[in-house]
Structure 1
Amino acid sequence: MSLLSTHYFDRKKERYWLELAVLSFVISVGMQYFSFPAAFLLGPMFAAILFAQKNRVMQPARPLIRYCQSTIGVMISLALPIEALSNISQHLMLFFGGVFSVLIASTVLSGILAYRRVVPGTVAIWGSSPGAATVMTLMAQDHGADVRLVALMQYLRVIMVSLAAALVTHFFMPVSGLPTEHHIHLYEPIVWPDFINTLILISVSVIVSKYLKLPSGPLIIAIVLAITVNYLGLFTIVLPTPYLFFCYAIIGWNIGARFTGEATRYAIKIMPNICISILLLIGFCSLLSLALVRYFDIDPLTAYLAMSPGGADSIAIIASTSHNVNVSFVMAMQTCRLFFMLIFGPILATKAAQIVERLKQNSTKQN
């Protein structure tokens, strides 16, 4: 009887996984059609949230999550061209000034959210960090922050920043090639020797991270190894679209499965405050872009896209499909900010959370 029961629950769980996969694909395609950023990550996340509301918590296996984290690291390395890195080295003060200005603004806003007890201190810092949303979410999870709220803050900002950037681009100058964003290339040719080498690189990243036991190890080690492979020209890194969609889905399911009923209600409750903080950050970055225009003779659209707080992949798409935009400068600024958060993000989150906690304690004593 117990064997039959076990078989029944296994079949039931298999059916749930199939239903989750189908729903995730449908939502993702719909979001992709309307040009939502990170559609094939957000779609599975939303689907997993819907399942969690019905007490169907579909949590992927931990080894699979680590493998997908390494894949994201390799993907990030492809978005960091050598030209962007050389651009940073030639204008260090400009890039450091731009990066630190945005980080200071995001830290102040996150401190306000934490001080007002909207979200915990570390969640506020990681959720407001203007790096790549997926990277910040994965790093926050490895450093013990509530990944549900961090993901909510990060991807809400990605959507709002991307929409704002698209509107600014539309009014400054026409965008070419936008209809191609609706196409999903699932049947692209695959160079199998390079793809196999890429999978080996990802596997090595996971194994090395297991022994080094670094927070966000699979992600960071994969970035370092992939950049080395690209620089030395050992082989061409290949990440087919269906494989990337699968990795996005695993990460999205991992995040969405944590949104049980209580967590979802709390997320809805704090969303207005988070939206206000995001709008303030977008406004501050817009002022910084005006400074670039005035004092460094950079065209307005390039300056705005370069200073946009996060959503680097979406910003890259908008920049590359716009006329007369210095894509190298835009990606260099986004790259510089991402590198800074990869290196100093954990320290910044810890110290800022400690400062906010002390301020709250002092306020309590005074009252």
Structure 2
Amino acid sequence: MRGLTSSRQLFLWFALTLISVPIALGFHYLSIPAAFLLGPMLTAILFAQKNVVLKPHKHIISFAQAVLGLMISQALSVNALNQISQHLGLFIGGVLSVLIASTALSAVLAYRRIVPGTAAIWGSSPGAAAAMTLLAQDYGADVKIVALMQYLRVILVTLTAAMVTHLFVPSTPLPTEHAHFIEGHIDYEGFIKTLILIAVILLVSLRIKLPSGPLMLAIASGLAVSYWHDFVITLPQLLLLTSYSMIGWHIGSKFTGNATRYTLKILPNIFFSITLLIGFCGVLSWGLVRYFGIDPLTAYLAMSPGGADAIAIIAASSHHIDLPFVMAMQTCRLLFMLIFGPMLAIQAAKLVERRSSQHV
């Protein structure tokens, strides 16, 4: 939006925040995953329909990416990594099966030109929704479509997993615990060290021009310092929620009127492809039960395609679930997607676009 005075921009940012907060809180208390990303994203979309496009400064987005990267590194626990190393074949087989299925579905969407090639590949990646959305943008994909596909998948996977858990363990309540937004006690020494680490990450990312550099450097740095006992990454809840909101506003600002109409047009096909992926993962979980003797609910949650944080909450709500196994499988897929996802997405997109051009 051009020609706005500073006071006008300040008023619009205040309005954007004022509307985003209750929507995010509503999503949060309905147990909708990534509520503080989806709420601001939805609000920014509504503003964009009126040609009011408010984008956080690129340095703020870089800071939010660094925070997100450190949060992801904390989710990759040492215990989960140890369990992966002990049953490497099983985990690689499970991860590759889901990846092949998601790639096949994305290839169909791209080949039939329902979704542009690169967006189809990135949007179908089964894990790390926020990271894949940010990476997709830096690699030139249509971030609007990628965000739609990724977060619709996260929501559908979470709702399906919650329903399946309720069916297997009727007495287990659905997740109702909610984070405290303002913590009573913060490790200020750890927080200051974390801010210094983020500053170093941002400075290095300016020198090393990598796609989503702050995000990837933060993940690597977070894993590295996790072995340093004197360094504890401290990310206050308020900082995390603010970072999610910034990324949500950044994504939502791209949904202008024409873009929104297009995404609504392709929504049924995306919904159908996600449903097929969830069904395929259900078949894979049956294989874990049949041939490896794993508890059915544990197997289903382990193979759920993405939404690791929400899956962790659901799994932790029942004593009948092998939580370490579930998180180890989710962690393995997350690691694989972060390391190999960009490379596979680029190559697959090139192949799909080459084949499509031959039929023009």
Shorter-chain TM-score: which interval?
over 0.9
Distance apart, 1:146 and its partner CA: 1.0
Look up the match of 2:220: 224
| AA aligned opposite 2:47 | F
User: Contact (CA 8 Å) 1:175, 1:323: kept in 2 or not?
Assistant: no
The answer as to 2:85 corresponding to 1:93 is no
Matched, 1:210 2:206: yes
Alpha-carbon shift at residue 361 of structure 1 (Å): 3.0
User: Is 1:154 aligned with 2:150?
Assistant: yes
Gaps of 5+ in 1: 1-5
Choose which of 286, 290, 294 in structure 1 pairs with 2:290: 294
Aligned-pair distance for 1:177?
Answer: 6.2
Q: Aligned pair 1:71/2:67, yes or no? A: yes
Match of 2:313 in 1: 317
Query: Does the CA contact (< 8 Å) of 1:176 and 1:323 recur in 2?
Result: no
Read off the aligned partner of 1:326 and give its amino acid letter: D
Query: Which residue pairs with 1:246 in the alignment?
Result: 242
Is this contact kept in 2: 1:174–1:322, CA < 8 A?
A: no
Q: Which residue of 1 aligns with 2:349?
A: 353
- Distance apart, 1:271 and its partner CA: 0.2
- 1:33 is matched with which residue: 29, 32, 54? 29
Shift of 1:201: 1.0
Q: Distance in 2 between matches of 1:179 and 1:163?
A: 11
What's the secondary structure of 1:181's corresponding residue? coil
Q: Which moved more, 1:129-138 or 1:277-286?
A: 129-138
Give the aligned partner of residue 3 of structure 1: none
2:325 aligns with 329
Report what 1:273 is aligned to: 269
1:192 equivalent in structure 2: 188
- Decide which moves more: 107-116 or 351-360: 351-360
Give 1:53's match in structure 2, choosing from 49, 55, 77.
49
| Residue-by-residue CA offset, 1:304-335 (whole Å, 9 max, x unaligned) | 01110111111111111122211111111111
Deviation at 1:114, TM superposition (A): 0.2
CA contact (8 A) 1:129 1:136 kept: yes
Partner of 1:283 in structure 2? 279
Range 38-47 or range 334-343, more displaced: 334-343
Aligned match of 2:336 in 336, 340, 344? 340
**Once the two structures are superposed, what CA deviation does each residue of 1:71-102 show, in whole Å capped at 9, x if it has no partner?**
00000111111000000100111000000000
Aligned residue for 2:226, secondary structure, equals: helix
RMSD: 1.6
Deviations 1:233-272 (A, max 9, x none): 1322111111111101100000000000000000100000
- Partner in structure 2 of residue 14 of structure 1: 10
Partner Cα separation in structure 1 for residue 155 and residue 96 of structure 2:
23
How far 1:175 moved relative to its partner? 6.4
What secondary structure does 2:359 align onto? helix
Q: For 2:191 and 2:271, locate their aligned partners in 1 and report how far apart those are by CA, in whole Å.
A: 40
Using the TM superposition, give the Cα deviation of residue 144 of structure 1 relative to its aligned residue in structure 2, in angstroms.
Answer: 1.2
What amino acid maps onto 1:275 in structure 2?
A: F
- Which is worse superposed, 174-183 or 269-278? 174-183
> Share of identical aligned residues, percent?
60
Assess, with a 3 A threshold, how the Cα gap between structure 1 residues 88 and 175 changes in structure 2: closer, same or farther: farther
Greater helix share, 1 or 2?
1
Q: Which stretch shifts more, 176-185 or 26-35?
A: 176-185
In 1: Cα distance, 2:207 partner to 2:88 partner:
35
Alpha-carbon distance in 2 for matches of 1:219, 1:100: 24
- Residues 1:137 and 2:133 aligned together: yes
- TM-score normalised by the chain length of structure 2: 0.96
State the distance in 2 between where 1:61 and 1:211 align.
Answer: 19
Are residues 1:102 and 2:98 paired?
A: yes
Residue type at the aligned position of 2:280: F
TM-score, with structure 1 as normaliser: 0.95
After TM superposition, give the deviation of residue 362 of structure 1 in Å.
3.4
C-alpha contact 1:198 1:238 (8 A) present in aligned 2: yes
Q: Distance in 1 between matches of 2:323 and 2:4?
A: 55
**What runs of 5+ residues in structure 2 fail to find an aligned partner?**
none
Distance 1:224 1:350 in 2: 22
Q: State the 4+ residue runs in structure 1 displaced beyond 6 angstroms.
A: none
Q: How far is 1:186 from its partner?
A: 2.1
Instruction: Tell me the amino acid that sits aligned with residue 106 of structure 2.
Output: S
Give the CA deviation at 1:356. Answer: 1.3
How far off is 1:185 after superposition?
Answer: 3.3
